[in-house]
Structure 1
Amino acid sequence: MNFVNSRSAVLGRLALVVLVIAGLLGFASPAQAQVFSSCDRWGEYHQADWTIYNNIWGDNAGNQCLHVNSVNSWYVDATHTGGGIKSYPNTSVSPNTPLSQMANAGFTYDTSSAPAASGDWWNWTADLWSTGNQDEIMIFTSWEPQGPAGGWGTQIASNVTVGGILYASVWQAAPGWNVLQFIPAQQNSSGYVDALATWQWAASQGLLVNTDFQTMQFGLEITSTSGQQKRYSLNEYHAWWTNTSGGGSGI
C-alpha cells in the first residue's frame, strides 16, 4: 500500500471513531434531560420521602411551570402580577416526629433569581410546620425588593442568633394559625440552615402551639414578577433529618 492510500485509511478510521463517539454521546444525552416538568398548579414530583411541588395556591395567579433536574435541583418559569402571594414552589419532607425525639434537621441551599425589576416581589424561604398545621415557622434567606425586610403581625424579638444565623427581627402573626417569621440581618443566595435549632428556639420561648415537627420545606414565595416571565432556580439543595429512634431521610 502506498503512502497516500495508507493515510486515507488512517483518516477513515479516525472519522469512524469520531462518529462512534458522537453516537455514544447522542445516546447519553437523554440522561441529562429533566426528570419532570409540569405547568399544572398542583404539579408534583416524588422521590422516596421527598416531594417537589409547583404549588400555585394563591388567587389571581398567572402562569408558572416547574422543571425538575433532579431531587436536588429545580427551577420555575413564572409570570405573575398584582398583590398577594401567588405560589410557593418547594421541596418538602415530613419527619412527623415529636420535638423530644428529633435528633437533627437542616439543609444547604444555592439559589439564583432573575434580575429584578420594579414591582417584583418574592422571597426564598424555609417553611416548617407542626402537626395539624397549627404552627408555621418561616425562615427567610433572600428577597425582593432589596433592603431590610419586615415581617407581618407583631415583632417579638430582634438581633437574635439561632443556629448560627443572626436574625434582625422575629415576627408573630395569627391568621388562623400561629406564624413565626425569622428575618436574617443579611440576605444569602446560598448557605446552611439548622432547621431543628430554629424549631427548638421557638419552643424554648413558648412560641409554639404544638411542638411536633411535622414538615420541612424550602422554596420560593412569589407575589409578582411584574407581569414578565422570570426564572428562579434552586441550583443545589441537600437536606436531611433524623430522630432518636434511628429514623430519618436525606437527599
Structure 2
Amino acid sequence: MRKRTSAIAAVAAATMAALGTAVVTGLPSYAAAGCTVTYNVTNQWPGGFGADVTVKNLGDPLSGWNLVWSYSGGQTVGQHWNATITQSGTQVTAVNVGYNGSVATNGTVNFGFNGSFTSSNPAPTSFRLNGVTCTGGVSGSPSPTRTAGPSPSRSISPSPSRSSGTPGVPSDAVWVASGQWDNWVNSGYTVYNNIWGSGAGSQTIWARTPTNWGVIANHPTTSGVKSYPHTVKGTVNRTVSSLGSMTSSFNVSVPGSGNYATTYDIWANNWAYEIMLWMNYNGAVGPIADQYDSNGAVPAFRNLSLGGHTWNVYRGNNGANAVFSFLRTSNTNSGTVDIRAILNWLRTQNWWGDVTVGEAQFGFEISGTNGSAAFTDNSFAISWS
C-alpha cells in the first residue's frame, strides 16, 4: 500500500517472444513456446518501490509456472502477493500459488511485490518462463510516489484551472485538473492528484478549497494501488516528545463499491517510518503486516482503543521503511482523531523512538473502482502545537 520526497514515475514494459523450449523439473513436460511479460514499477520512493508483473502465456496451457529474472541495481524483493517469491543474490524466482497455477494459451497471470534498492532501480532486461527465455527490450523511466509516501516535488499552478463539462465536478470548483502529478498550493496546503503507474486509469481532481476537494476516479480493479489523491499541510518537523498536541478532523463521502481506503499517511524520520490510519476501507485492500494467515493479514493488536477510535494494528515493512497500519474496527466517514496519542503509543511499544514527524497527509488510497466513482473530502482540518 502500500510513499517519497520527490518520487519519480516509472513504467517498465517488456514484451518478449521465446526463442526455444526448455523443461523445468517438477513442471509440466510441455514448456511454454512463448510469453509476454509486462513489468511495471507502479510507484517509487526513496530506497523503495512497488512492482506489478503480468505474464501472458503464448504457448501450451500451463498447470504450473515459475518466472525467473535478475536485477542489476542491487534490488531486493520484500512483501509479495499472488506468487511465492524467493531471491538468491541477484536472481529472483516467482512461483504460482495454489489458485493461479493454470494458465491457458493466451491467458495471463498477475502478481506484485514491494522491493528496495540502493542508488538505482533499473528494470530487468529478460525473463524466463518455465525455463524458456523470453527476449525483447525493456524500456521505462523511474516513476513518482507510491501509496503511501512522501509527496512529490511541488509545482504551484500559475493560476487555478477550470474544466467545463466534467461529470461529477461541482460548478463552483476553483481548481480542476486531470494530470498524473497535478497539484495546487493554497493557504498553506497542497492538494495532489497523484496517479501511479501505467496500470492506472483516469482521474480528475477538483477543489473548492484545499480542505474541500474531491476526485472522479476510474481505475481498473487489478492488483496494486492506482492512486493516492490527498491534501497535506506543510511539514510538522517536530519530535514526538515536543508535540503538545496533534489533532485532526475529517468528513468524507465515498462510493459504495470498489477497492479503496480513506487514510491518513503520516511520515517520520525522513520517510523511515510510515503510519497509516485507515478510517474506512472497502473491497480487496489490506495492510502490510509481519504475519499472514489464510484469512489475510494478522494484527499485532486487536481492538486497541486509542486516539478516540478502536483499531486493529498491523506492523510490517515494505522493503524500504517500517509501516504501522491502524485500521478502524468499523468504518466511519467523519470524526476527530488524536494523532499525538497514536505517536506516543508507538514509543511505548518501542516500535520507534523520539522520531521527528514529517508530513501528515490525508486522502483516498484507490486500488480500483467499478467504473467512474466519486470521492469527496467535504471538510478537513489538522493542527499541532
Tell me the TM-score range normalised by the shorter chain.
Answer: 0.7 to 0.9
- TM-score (normalizing by structure 1): 0.76
Describe the superposition over 1:76-121 as per-residue Cα deviations: whole angstroms up to 9, x where unpaired: 00010111001111111211111122122221111111232xxx20
Q: How many residues end up aligned between the 2 structures?
A: 204
Partner of residue 253, structure 2:
112
Alpha-carbon shift at residue 150 of structure 1 (Å): 5.1
Runs of 4+ in 1 over 2 A off after TM superposition: 149-152
Whether the 8 Å CA contact 1:99–1:213 is kept in 2: the answer is yes
Q: Residue type matched to 1:199 in 2?
A: L
Q: Residue type matched to 1:230 in 2?
A: A
Q: Residue type matched to 2:244 in 1?
A: A
2:366 aligned to 209, 222, 233, which one?
222
Partner of residue 152, structure 1:
288
Task: Give the distance between the partners of 2:264 and 2:314, measured in 1 at CA.
Answer: 15
Please say which of residues 98-107 and 64-73 is displaced more in the overlay. Answer: 98-107
Computed over aligned residues only, the root mean square deviation of the Cα atoms, in angstroms, reads 1.8
Task: Give the distance between the partners of 1:59 and 1:211, measured in 2 at CA.
Answer: 35
2:337 aligned to 178, 193, 196, which one?
193
- TM-score (normalizing by structure 2): 0.51
Task: Give the distance between the partners of 2:251 and 2:338, measured in 1 at CA.
Answer: 15
2:195 aligned to 45, 50, 56, which one?
56
Alpha-carbon shift at residue 129 of structure 1 (Å): 0.3
Task: Give the distance between the partners of 2:286 and 2:176, measured in 1 at CA.
Answer: 34
Task: Give the distance between the partners of 1:171 and 1:137, measured in 2 at CA.
Answer: 10
The within-5 A match list for 1:56-205 is 56-81=195-220, 82-93=222-233, 94-116=235-257, 120-145=258-283, 151-154=287-290, 155-167=299-311, 169-175=312-318, 176-205=320-349
Partner of residue 174, structure 2:
35
Whether the 8 Å CA contact 1:96–1:131 is kept in 2: the answer is no
1:44 aligned to 179, 183, 190, which one?
183
Q: Residue type matched to 1:152 in 2?
A: I
Alpha-carbon shift at residue 193 of structure 1 (Å): 1.2
Partner of residue 377, structure 2:
234
Task: Give the distance between the partners of 1:74 and 1:195, measured in 2 at CA.
Answer: 22
Larger-gyration structure (1/2):
1
Describe the superposition over 1:160-201 as per-residue Cα deviations: whole angstroms up to 9, x where unpaired: 11112111x211111120000001111101111111111111
Cα distance change on mapping 1:46 and 1:144 into 2, 3 Å: same
Whether the 8 Å CA contact 1:110–1:234 is kept in 2: the answer is yes
Structure whose residues are more often helix by fraction: 1
Structure 1: which 5+ residue stretches go unaligned? 1-31, 243-251
Whether the 8 Å CA contact 1:131–1:210 is kept in 2: the answer is no
Whether the 8 Å CA contact 1:150–1:183 is kept in 2: the answer is no
Cα distance change on mapping 1:100 and 1:108 into 2, 3 Å: same
Describe the superposition over 1:120-176 as per-residue Cα deviations: whole angstroms up to 9, x where unpaired: 200000111002100000001011129xx8533122211211112111x21111112
Task: Give the distance between the partners of 1:45 and 1:231, measured in 2 at CA.
Answer: 19
| Identity among equivalent pairs (%) | 26
Alpha-carbon shift at residue 57 of structure 1 (Å): 2.5
Structure 2: which 5+ residue stretches go unaligned? 1-170, 291-298
Task: Give the distance between the partners of 2:238 and 2:174, measured in 1 at CA.
Answer: 30
Higher relative contact order (CA 8 A, sep 6+): 1
Task: Give the distance between the partners of 1:137 and 1:224, measured in 2 at CA.
Answer: 22
Describe the superposition over 1:52-86 as per-residue Cα deviations: whole angstroms up to 9, x where unpaired: 11111345111001101112200100010111001
Task: Give the distance between the partners of 1:59 and 1:85, measured in 2 at CA.
Answer: 11
Cα distance change on mapping 1:199 and 1:66 into 2, 3 Å: same
SS at match of 2:208: strand
SS at match of 1:103: coil
